Amino acid sequence: MLANVNATRMELLRLRKRVALASRGHRLLSEKRDEISRRLIKIARQIQPLRERVEKELLETCRRFMLARATMEPEHTKAALEVPTKKFSLAITFASVMNVKVPQLTKEIAGEIICYGFATTSGEMDAALLALERALDSLIELAEKEKQARLLATELQMTRRRVNVLEHVVIPELHETIRFIFDKLAEAERDNTSRLMKITDIIRA
């Protein structure tokens, strides 16, 4: 690589500009890496208790439905849940975190989840449906956090690779090339000085 470098002052100036640019890029990417790490740690701390809450709420929902089935006739259970009156949709928007687009989920719900008469249903069915509604809220929040964490983790890995390449490959190679050119120019300067001195000696002789 160094053998093919033009050892000129113009090349030296160009490489020094590249070093300055690479160093600035390294600094900015390092700051981005640190900020993404901070955000990722914050989200990770939220995910664990949220996941535990979701598991607890889903277990409670299943328990309530089992109790409802045990206290109701099968045909009454089927009839109670056959025609839902609650409509659910999910709106997805995106926010920018260190130039990473992360999703934000917002539920849109209309109607009531309890969609049956009370003559042939038990209170356990009411409790089961309300527990399911609570679990759904937690599930949406968990899905949002986990997706954000995956996207930020991917970006963090890419940013770390770029920082490492700049720090351990690009910038050291540029410095090595600059030293090579500087030494070549210094050598050429010494040769010129030596020739001038010889010419001076010849003229004086």
What is the pLDDT at residue 189? 81
What is the pLDDT at residue 142? 94
What is the pLDDT at residue 9? 87
Q: Does 204 map to a domain?
A: no
Residue 19: which CATH number?
A: 1.10.287.3240
> What domain range is 125 assigned to?
2-198
Q: Does 30 map to a domain?
A: yes
What is the pLDDT at residue 84? 67
The number of residues in the chain equals 205
Helix (H, G, I), strand (E, B) or coil at 110: strand
Q: How many CA within 13 A on the CB side of residue 124?
A: 14
Q: Does 203 map to a domain?
A: no
What is the pLDDT at residue 119? 63
The number of folded domains in the chain is 1
Report which of 145, 114, 107 is spatially closest to residue 131, judged by C-alpha positions.
114
Instruction: Answer left, alpha or beta for residue 98, where phi above 0 means left and psi between -120 and 50 means alpha.
Output: left
Series of mean pLDDT values for 10-residue runs along the chain (205 residues)? 74 92 96 94 93 93 86 75 73 86 83 66 80 87 93 95 96 93 85 78 73
Residue ranges with strand state E in 15-58:
none
Quote the CA–CA distance of 95 and 151 in Å, as a whole number: 12
Q: Does 52 map to a domain?
A: yes
